[in-house]
Structure 1
Amino acid sequence: MTSSPTPIEAAFALLQQGRLVEAEELMARELQAVTAEHGHGSPAWASAQCDLGNVLLNADQLNRAIECYRNATTASSADPQFRRDHLTYRLNLGLALRMAGRLDEAESELRQGARDRLAFYGREHPGYAFGLESLADVLLQRGDVAQARQVVEETVDNLWRNGHPRVASALALRAEVMAVHPAGGPLFPQVDQLPEPMLEQVAESVLNRQGQGDPAVFPTVLKALVAVLERRLGPDHQATLNALSALANSGRDRGDHAGRVEAIQRVLASYDRQGMAEQALMAALGLAMAQSEVGDEDGALHTYASAHTRAERIGSPVLVSQVLRNWGLALREAGQPQPAEQRLGEAVAHARRGSDGETLGRAGVALGLFLQHEGRLEQARPVLEEGLSVLDPVHPDAMIGRSHLGAVLDGRTCGCGDMGTTITDAFREFVIGRLPADLLARLDVAVVDDDFKIDVELRREPTEEELQRLNAVVSSAYAEFRRRLTSPRRTG
């Protein structure tokens, strides 16, 4: 008999579905129930605060997550299990503060946590090393590289002696520290002593650090990792290919388009050697986009043509539509409107034969925008309306399509400048649709300096629960729509 999911399991299931507000509300109700049963400041209350913090953290609401973790650390109990849990609460608090860029506070909490762990576990226990690893990470971010190296070396030595699998993430962090430390040295000095499964975990840990440390240092670590993986596991091992893909993404982020192209070509060649058709197709699409960005227009169009042949061999209408859409957009940018329209129209036709609404929606928006920009508004309108009817309203392409449809209805050939209005309207709808109908008299939303500024007027005095819900919904809207302000808008 299958047991019912716990509240935190149910909340994370909602997060995976993109239902952020519902996930938060579920855990808020659980916190209220636990408080009523066990009391404020109890071990159960602290645990519920931590669970709510975990949900908020994964919903990109860092400051509220920090508040929950800090609340959890205020509880006290002589029970050994609670003392162990308390160490976790403080570690979570330090990590969240680091993510928020509040490095002074993060270092203070993590230093205290390391002292507490030393007293609780002793210096030789891996539980002590868990706290040291996070402290080393913050020290590195603060630029105290010498102390970061000292702490991370102690972390690696501890976990290595204990044979603990978490040594993988410590080795990844140490490689980053070594890459910036004046003394230099090999980034992965113990790699030949690692069994292959552990080496794969080290590689995964390195990739998981993307975006956490210095972006100028990360490519150095990645290149060293790729060399190690190719030597130990071979050029066709999935860990090697994952590292090459990360190197390609890093090249895009830092403007190294030639390096990006070279890395993707190596991945594509490997997938072709292994007969992995769909993976090779995705790599080919990535290669075409990279070639476009490096200025190799002819190479990109040739790669799209070969990708189309690959997709037809696979036989998936969804994949064929995706290739045709991207190919059509590239042709439009290359100043070839007639073949561009043909490819975009074919993308819509293939998407209609598939069963994926997002593919149809994106193809429809791309074709609709093309027709609109060509001045063919009557043709553009039904295509845009069809695409928008099957796209999630907060999908980036839906945002773009909605702004352009508004322009079409106004008789204008472009809606590229209307994205701010479209996003603020969607922000308002997101908030209003999740609150009691009689609560708000007015909700004004504006975009100022790439961030949202809101002004709320209430129709009546809210209850405490309604006020908490209003704050939670607005926070969720901030987290959801900030990404829309800076998301790529190639469709437009």
Structure 2
Amino acid sequence: MRLVTTPPTPAEVAFALLREGRMGDAENLMTRELQAATDKHGHGSPEWASAQCDLGNVLLDADQRDRAIECYRRAVSATPRDHESRKDQLTYRLNLGLALRMAGRLDEAETELRQGVQERLAFYGREHAGYAFGLEPLADLLRQRGDVAGARQVVEEAVANLWRNGHERVASALALRAAIVHAGGTREPLFVGLQQLPDEVVEQVGRVVTQMLDHDDPAAKPLLTSLVVALEERLGIDHQATLNALSALANLGRDLGDQAGRVDAIERVLASYDRQGRQEEALMAGLGLAMAQDEAGDAEAALRTYASAHARAERIGRPELRSQVLRNWGLALKEAGQVGPAEQRLTEAVSQARRGTDHDTVGRACIALGLFHQHEGRLSEARTVLEEGLTIMDPVHPDAIIGRSHLGAVLDGRTCGCGDMAGTIADAFREFVITRLPADLLDRLDVAIVDGDFKIDVGLRREPTESELERLNDVFQTAHAEFRRRLSEPRYAG
């Protein structure tokens, strides 16, 4: 029997590249697809509009919102030729409104979303679910703008429409309704009708609520706590949706400074994984618990939890997991002033990582041990393991940047400090840009970090073509997005 598979679309490939952190490659792919659509079907064609939308989706996912907005505007500007291209245009306008909202351009967003609602009403009719698809984002925008009464009116119409149509998207409308009712402070039940919905729709309600939370707003905690209670009642305390909501509650506790609530939520997740015999999930929950206990100021409890996590990792037997536990445990021991045990754990973390197959695990373990050696004044040993770690890691990985900067300090003979961190990041930014442009285009590229942002000075060898100039601008915007995203991830302290 011959197995026939469908090859992924260019957009699917691009999003796979984004998941790997290869934003520049993803953008290049979709730019080529746009050019191909333009060459074959012409500027302003439905195919051109579709390619503009695909490129906009990739740019939006890469946090390049202004460029994504322009792609969506161009897509909306195309004249539809038939029923399907008219339907597609409704999607393009919805994407435009959402992107404007994400960019904080709320007046423009409301204009586009309201126009989209009217166009959907004319195209689908009031009873069709396609009309409700436009109501929901408008209600969310009104909620964001503080118009709770207006948002409630719009979201109730969306919920009624989707419920009547038996559409699974009622999940996101119900989640939004809960957030709007909560914002209104009426003390009404937030989550209604869950008993009448299939499990998978209830699970989706939970996912949407956790995605829409504002982690800077203390009011998010009672909303999420109500969700946890609703999921426990409807799905059970050990259901994955309930555990996901508890994990979100722990993350919210971290961001709001509610360390006690964070610890309690993680303990409940850990207890559930233990009840279910899910060893690896329990191990990762244990690591999260140790970190939470440490940040709550209970270092002794954190060290006990790390010891317990190590015992779990020993039972599982995977070297990558053992290395991760040992690395984190060693760093915690060092912070607690237990230098000898810290070195033992960090050294063993490197040894375990080398037994595995994951390069990042080896690199992170080496960098952690290298920083330990540096701070202890053992510069030769620090240099050896730092260089080993850096040779196998992605150069823009946050740990690699930290390691490279500390290596610079080691080479200068310094036992503390991380060297010229700004210079290290600027060098990595420069390397990222140069490798993505024609070799004969740049004469020089000076990159510096000034007031927390990149300052760029470019010298060209020759006059660029219009397409090369556009490419140059695009690469710089991609580099900004790439480094801001990578450098926002957790990393070692200097």
* 2:132 corresponds to 1:133: no
- Residue matched to 1:441: 443
In terms of mean alpha carbon deviation, does 229-238 or 359-368 score higher? 229-238
- Residue matched to 1:91: 94
Q: Is the 8 A contact 1:397 1:491 kept in 2?
A: no
Q: CA deviation at 1:485?
A: 4.4
CA RMSD, 1 decimal: 1.5
Q: Is the 8 A contact 2:333 2:342 kept in 1?
A: yes
Q: Is the 8 A contact 1:65 1:96 kept in 2?
A: yes
Q: How does 1:13-52 map to 2 (within 5 A)?
A: 13-52=16-55
1: distance between equivalents of 2:52 and 2:442? 29
> In the alignment, residue 209 of structure 1 is paired with which amino acid?
M
1: distance between equivalents of 2:351 and 2:238? 36
Q: Give CA deviations for 1:261-298 in whole Å, capped at 9, x if unaligned.
A: 00000000011111111100000000000000000010
DSSP 3-state at the match of 1:416 = coil
> In the alignment, residue 362 of structure 1 is paired with which amino acid?
R
- Residue matched to 1:142: 145
> In the alignment, residue 67 of structure 2 is paired with which amino acid?
R
Q: Is the 8 A contact 1:405 1:415 kept in 2?
A: no
Aligned length: 491
- Residue matched to 2:393: 391
> In the alignment, residue 31 of structure 2 is paired with which amino acid?
A
- Residue matched to 2:237: 235
Match of 1:301 among 303, 308, 312: 303
Q: CA deviation at 1:202?
A: 1.1
Query: What's the % identity of the aligned pairs?
Result: 71
| TM-score computed with the length of structure 2 as normaliser | 0.96
- Residue matched to 2:157: 154
Unaligned runs of 5+ in 2: none
Distance 1:483 1:201, change over 3 A: closer
- Residue matched to 1:490: 492
> In the alignment, residue 257 of structure 2 is paired with which amino acid?
G
> In the alignment, residue 16 of structure 1 is paired with which amino acid?
R
2: distance between equivalents of 1:86 and 1:220? 39
Q: How does 1:308-387 map to 2 (within 5 A)?
A: 308-387=310-389
Q: CA deviation at 1:173?
A: 0.8
Distance 1:214 1:377, change over 3 A: closer
Q: Is the 8 A contact 1:149 1:174 kept in 2?
A: yes
Q: Is the 8 A contact 2:142 2:151 kept in 1?
A: yes
Q: CA deviation at 1:214?
A: 6.7
Q: Is the 8 A contact 2:409 2:419 kept in 1?
A: no
In terms of mean alpha carbon deviation, does 471-480 or 258-267 score higher? 471-480
Q: How does 1:62-461 map to 2 (within 5 A)?
A: 62-211=65-214, 215-416=217-418, 418-461=420-463
1: distance between equivalents of 2:187 and 2:259? 27
Q: Give CA deviations for 1:367-413 in whole Å, capped at 9, x if unaligned.
A: 00010011110111101111111211111110000000011111111
Q: Give CA deviations for 1:328-358 in whole Å, capped at 9, x if unaligned.
A: 0001111111111111011111111111111
Q: Give CA deviations for 1:434-459 in whole Å, capped at 9, x if unaligned.
A: 11222112222222332222121212
In terms of mean alpha carbon deviation, does 114-123 or 176-185 score higher? 176-185
> In the alignment, residue 383 of structure 1 is paired with which amino acid?
V
Q: Is the 8 A contact 2:216 2:255 kept in 1?
A: no
In terms of mean alpha carbon deviation, does 22-31 or 214-223 score higher? 214-223
Match of 2:8 among 2, 5, 8: 5
Unaligned runs of 5+ in 1: none
